[in-house]
Structure 1
Amino acid sequence: MHLKDMTGLQLMQAFAQGKLPGPAITTTMPMDCVEAEHGRVLFTATANESHTNAMGGVHGGFAATILDSVTGCATHTVLGPGETYATTDLSIKMCRPLPFNKAVFSEGKVINAGRNLVISEGYIRDEAGKVYAHATATCMIIRPAAAA
Structure 2
Amino acid sequence: MKNIIENRTRTFDWADPMIGAKSAMEMSGYDYLKSIADGDLPMPPIMSLMGVDNCKVDKGYMRFEFNAEEYHYNTIGGVHGGVFSTLLDSCISCAIHTTLPQGVGFSTIDLKVNFIRPMTIETGLVICEGNAIHTGRKTAVGEGRLLDASGKLLATASVTCLILS
- The reply to whether TM is greater than 0.5 is yes
1:137-148 pair list within 5 angstroms: 137-143=159-165
Larger Rg: 2
Tell me if 1:98 matches 2:113: no
* Corresponding residue for residue 135 of structure 1: 157
Task: Give unmatched runs, 5+ long, in structure 1.
Answer: 144-148
Identity %: 37
Aligned residues: 143
SS of alignment partner, residue 106 of structure 1? strand
Task: Give unmatched runs, 5+ long, in structure 2.
Answer: 1-21
1:87 CA displacement: 0.3
| Amino acid aligned to 1:139 | C
1:43-122 pair list within 5 angstroms: 43-100=64-121, 102-122=124-144
Alpha-carbon contact 2:77-2:120 (below 8 Å) kept: no
Alpha-carbon contact 1:90-1:135 (below 8 Å) kept: yes
- The whole-number CA distance in structure 2 between the counterparts of 1:4 and 1:78 is 14
Tell me if 1:11 matches 2:32: yes
SS of alignment partner, residue 121 of structure 2? coil
- The whole-number CA distance in structure 2 between the counterparts of 1:2 and 1:104 is 29
Runs of 4 or more consecutive aligned structure 1 residues displaced over 6 Å after TM superposition: none
> Over aligned residues, Cα RMSD in angstroms?
1.5
SS of alignment partner, residue 128 of structure 1? coil
TM-score norm. by structure 2 comes to 0.82
1:32 CA displacement: 2.8
